[in-house]
Amino acid sequence: MRALELAVKDTVGRRRRFFVSVASLAIGIAIFMGTNLLSEAFEERTRDELTRLGANIVVLPEAVADPASGDHLTFPQGYTDRIRHTPNAHMLRAVSAKLATSARIGGRVVRIEGITADEAQVKLWWRVGGRLASSRIPREREIMLGSELASLLEGRSSVELFGRRFEVSGVLDPTGSADDRKAFLSLATLQELLGKPGRVDSIGISTACISCPTMTVFDHAREIAEALPADVRVVPVRQIADSQVATLRQVKRISGALAILVLCFATALILSQLYASVAEQQREIGILVSLGMTPRQLWRHFVLRGVLIGIPGGVLGIVGGLVLGVALGPSIAGFVPLPSWYWLPSAIAVAGGLGAMASLPAAARAVAVEPGRIMREGT
Amino acid sequence: MIILESVCFGYGSTEVFSNFSLHIREGEFVAITGPSGSGKTTLLHLISGLERPQAGRLLVRDLDLCSLSNAELNEYRRTTVSIVYQAFNLIPYLTAIENVTLPLYLRGMSPCEQRQAAQMMLERVGLARKQHHLPRELSMGECQRVAIARSLVTRAPILLADEPSGNLDDENTIGLMRLLDEVNRGERRTVILATHDARAAAYAGRRVDLGGLEQRHLSSDGIARYKEERNEMV
């Protein structure tokens, strides 16, 4: 006979109570795990959707216009390389340099933007019709029109700009943004037309992770600002960033609170089961004490029982949580969330610990049993 | 030597012992008799350390049980006394041999030694072939033999038996009493048997009648009840 053997026999010997305890804990852990999985998946989906909103950091010239000439201020396009070499650049999804101007097209003043392929990475929602459907970026002598502008120009196949003719090779699907009224050229073309080779007037940056605990949008902005000279300012698009961060925090808070609530519920269930078992087992406890079981041995016995309920409860709960995730994941998150396997042993350990913790009141109650009274009553 | 001097004990307002005194020598076989409720079980509980006297002195092998701490009392229960109950008090989810090894585990003996000692003891009580049976798979007599084996296996110098034959038929009672006699004579262990079975009490070297006024001070209600019961018996 060993302590563990006695605890196993005592725990498994009472099949009904054992199964009820394990099932209670398993349900609790399953809900906890399922909630966590789904909330993580939902968070991932939200994060993904939020990052698709576009640039959440913008690099602009320090002053908007040259006070002396009134001319539009620019800065070197090479700053994009500096941004791409910041320590956490791997967490940036896209860095898109742009140059903008206004010009008349078909008698209307239109905003013209010179863009690179990175712009399509920032604006993932862009859908382009025409020849540019796949590349989404105009080449030399090509122009891409916003949907509203295209309809205003009544389906023209080419337009004249700065004395040069450009073929309309793509029309943006309606985006519901200012892009619908813009025209887009390749950055190099616009730089050449404006006589500003290698110069841009803004860089839009999209981070891969909005509210990663290690690196927020604001941390990225600070890091980029340190890497760039003083002639530009780095602006986290505060409204977007703030709302993105707030949304994610809200999601986390709600799912975290729900998970803790369920965990407390599971702990209470196992605790009540063990606590009630002491009342049922008073006589056996009396026998053990009359045979010389010390309070310490009694504590250990109950803690081991708690662990023995916790571990299978944890394993079953994890399986249940996975099933829950697989069943509900597609409808909630749009995909099947899977846990990181490395934390499964820790989850089982936590379940065992939870069982041990839940056994403490029962153990305290068992230690307080008066063996004399119990044995007398049973005689 | 077990010495009870002017021991007082009661449950709530019910007084069980008032200035009760008793001496039991080492190696004695004493039968404690008396009607139901006369305090036989309580006396065994006092000697076993499951209850403490509320007044008076209780010495067992020079240990003053009244002054022992809970931990010391636990140690005393583990090493000095063992009890056999009428209801056997076997742990239902443990097999016969596991029930017998239980007190040895509580003493910190290695599993191998536990098993060896328990097997020997079960052989001695004639249950070697049923060592892997659960209590519910054994007859009453067999359960009592397992309980006896469990109390003997620790080699505690004092064996307390509380109505051990209460649930047994004649044949099993005789077998049990012979075993207790053998333990007392052969191993020089002190045996204190609480019983109201005259045949069982006859095996003891001395009989202490808790109904007798010379051994116990009963409350006035208790005396009346005792006299009534005695008259009924006559």
At residue A358, the pLDDT reads: 84
At residue A51, the pLDDT reads: 59
- Averages of pLDDT over runs of 10 residues in chain A (379 residues) are 88 81 81 76 66 76 62 87 91 91 86 91 83 78 91 87 90 88 93 93 83 74 92 80 68 75 77 80 85 89 90 88 83 71 77 86 86 69
Q: Which element (helix H / strand E) includes A48?
A: helix A15-51
Contact assignment for B104 to A376 by CB distance below 8 Å: no
Query: B70-79 and A282-290 helices cross at what angle (nearest 10)?
Result: 80
Contact assignment for A295 to B70 by CB distance below 8 Å: yes
Q: Which residue of A has its CA nearest to B47?
A: A372
pLDDT in tens, B66-86: 999 888 988 898 889 998 888
Q: B231: buried, middle or exposed (CB in 10 Å: 19+, 13-18, 0-12)?
A: exposed
Q: Which residue of A has its CA nearest to B99?
A: A1
Question: Quick one: pLDDT band at residue B97, thresholds 50, 70, 90?
Answer: very high
Contact assignment for B103 to A2 by CB distance below 8 Å: no
**Span B41-51, mean pLDDT?**
92
At residue B212, the pLDDT reads: 58
pLDDT in tens, B143-177: 988 999 999 998 899 999 998 888 778 888 888 88
| Cβ of residue B79 closer than 8 Å to a chain A Cβ | yes
Of residues B41, B78, B93, nearest to A9 (C-beta): B93
| Cβ of residue A177 closer than 8 Å to a chain B Cβ | no
| A 291-350 residues with CB < 8 A to B | 291-295, 297
Looking at per-residue pLDDT, the higher value among B225 and A312 belongs to A312
Contact assignment for A1 to B114 by CB distance below 8 Å: yes
Q: Which residue of B has its CA nearest to A298?
A: B106
At residue B167, the pLDDT reads: 76
Report chain A residues whose CB lies below 8 A from the CB of B48: 290
CA distance A251 to A249: 5
Which tokens belong to A71?
């001319």
Contact assignment for A295 to B105 by CB distance below 8 Å: no
Q: What is the DSSP letter of A72?
A: B
CA Rg value for chain A: 33
Contact assignment for A292 to B74 by CB distance below 8 Å: yes
CA distance A239 to A56: 9
Residue B223, pLDDT > 70, answer no
| Cβ of residue A94 closer than 8 Å to a chain B Cβ | no
Q: Which residue of B has its CA nearest to A283?
A: B89
Contact assignment for B50 to A14 by CB distance below 8 Å: no
At residue B215, the pLDDT reads: 44
Report chain A residues whose CB lies below 8 A from the CB of B85: 375, 378-379
Exposure on the CB side of residue A115, measured as CA atoms within 13 A: 27
Closest Cα in chain B, distance from residue A37 (Å): 40
At residue A208, the pLDDT reads: 73
| pTM, full prediction | 0.63
At residue A107, the pLDDT reads: 81
Of residues B51, B78, B94, nearest to A372 (C-beta): B51
Closest Cα in chain A, distance from residue B233 (Å): 23
CA distance A187 to B188: 108
At residue A140, the pLDDT reads: 86
At residue B64, the pLDDT reads: 93
CA distance B151 to B133: 18
Contact assignment for B162 to A379 by CB distance below 8 Å: yes
User: A88 and A221 in contact (C-beta within 8 Å)?
Assistant: no
Exposure on the CB side of residue A92, measured as CA atoms within 13 A: 28
Closest Cα in chain B, distance from residue A372 (Å): 5
| Cβ of residue B107 closer than 8 Å to a chain A Cβ | yes
Q: What is the DSSP letter of A379?
A: -
Q: Which residue of A has its CA nearest to B76?
A: A292
Contact assignment for A293 to B106 by CB distance below 8 Å: yes
Closest Cα in chain B, distance from residue A293 (Å): 6
Question: Quick one: pLDDT band at residue B130, thresholds 50, 70, 90?
Answer: very high
Q: What is the DSSP letter of A290?
A: H
CA distance A233 to B175: 101
Of residues B75, B86, B98, nearest to A379 (C-beta): B86
At residue B216, the pLDDT reads: 41
| Cβ of residue A283 closer than 8 Å to a chain B Cβ | yes
Q: How many helices (DSSP H) and strands (DSSP E) are in chain B? A: 8, 9
